[in-house]
Chains A and B, each alone.
Chain A
Amino acid sequence: MANNDRKHTVEALLFASDFPLSIKKISEIIDDMTEEEAAEIVHELQSEYENLGRGFILRHVAGGYEFVTKPDYAVWIKKLQAERRRTRLSHAGLEITAIIAYRQPVNRADIEKIRGVDSGGALRTLLERNLIKIAGREKSPGRPLLYKTTDEFLRFFGVNSLSDLPQLEEIEDLIQHDAKETGMAIEQLPVASGDSGSEEM
């Protein structure tokens, strides 16, 4: 394959994919392509689209790349898809998503403890929208279900990976600082728990 041809092949793959395509996947599909070359081509394409000033760009999201329209044209796209509008998440949905994002894997009782209210309905909706998934059961009495975020969650919020989420830690420091002043001991809460005793499915 000639050089230009290889670039166009990658471009075609990105166009045809309906989900963010990772560099790894691209290098697997195309013969004799290393991940380095795939990365180089993708970045080249990315800047080309930015510089050419087209109606769309190549966005890095959910560990891969996908073509998306520029925000400037959102109003027209919405007209095109007038009947089928993407519903925004409710406050409850946003809170629960945040809890799961920072504390995964986490069970329902812990989610409800943090929010102070019943969360079953919103949990169901989030599951249906594939923003969260069930990731096994906790090895504790009752064996409650554990929840984690999905790749679609990353895509939905336009984020490449969990580490790109805003840090909770900053607020944590504030807590410690203020606590020392008033002499009230607030326990250090873990920001992101690892897989503590969960069974994989």
Chain B
Amino acid sequence: MLIYRFKINVMSYQIKINVFEGPYDLLLFLIKKGEIDIYDIPIAKISKEYLEYIAIMQSLDLEIAGEFIVMAATLMRIKVKMLLPVYDEEEEEIEDPRRELVRNLLEYQRIKDAAGQFERLEFRSSMHFPRGDPAKDVTIEAQDDYFDMQASIYELVVAYNAVLKKRIEEKYHYVQPDPATIEEKMEEILRLLDAQKRISFHQHLMNCGDRIIIVINFLAILELAKRGQIRISQSQPFRNIWIYKHI
């Protein structure tokens, strides 16, 4: 009984892991742990340790950001470059293949240190309370037409995706003629804009019936924008996107 409990203690101790902000964070940790000179990194050794760490994280079923894997590939590439003999008659100085990595690591190190200092500043400041309730997160309640920003195609697609996600997925699929044409929807939108000053992108698409109608409407909006018949704007990122008639 005693031995059993002892084993469990040892196992639970092993599960303590560092949480890394990103691949640079992990690399800096390995460099510090191995007391490695950052200006002369033994790439083979570091790559091996790095991969071992990734393997541990994966075996523990931790979610690893794709960037960690990209860094693994980068390390491999640097390692290969360092192994290949370089013949260059023209230049005297060949760029060290580790150079860019070291530069990035140093830059990240600076920011990480600065972030640590910021944390201390934050803590000190949090001991002072102004009048009222500082815990209230201050958000800018900008009126939606306070200032206009041209909404880019990126924001449109993001908003469109958000609407689609809210629809319940159809479990079956059958082929049928389109319930409406893009031209019809374009006219409909223009008519709506005659009646009201502006239409909410989100609202308009949510009011559609099937998913196919959402797609047709979206295409209609894009076509109208392309033709310059409507104007699309957004006062701030992640706020409402509005459609206006273009005069």
Contact = CB atoms under 8 A, between A and B. Distances in A.
A18 B132 contact: yes
A84 B135 contact: yes
Contacts of A118: 65, 67
A117 B21 contact: yes
Contacts of A172: 110
Nearest to B128: A68
Interface size class of A (residues with CB under 8 A): 35 or more
A24 interface: no
Interface residues of B, number: 56
B234 to A, nearest CB: 11
B166 to A, nearest CB: 19
A116 B139 contact: no
Contacts of B22: 115-117
Contacts of A67: 130-131
B122 A98 contact: no
Interface stretch (A5-13, A42-50, A156-164): A156-164
B144 interface: no
A89 interface: yes
B171 interface: no
Interface string B95-125: 0100100111011111111111111011111
Interface in B42-69: 65, 67
A196 interface: no
B40 A94 contact: no
B117 A166 contact: yes
A98 B128 contact: no
Contact of A91 (B24, B115, B123): B115
A159 B37 CA distance: 35
A115 B122 contact: no
Interface of B: 21-25, 37, 39-40, 65, 67, 71, 96, 99, 102-104, 106-119, 121-140, 147, 149, 152, 236-238
Give 3 closest A-B pairs by Cβ, nearest first.
A158-B125, A71-B127, A117-B22
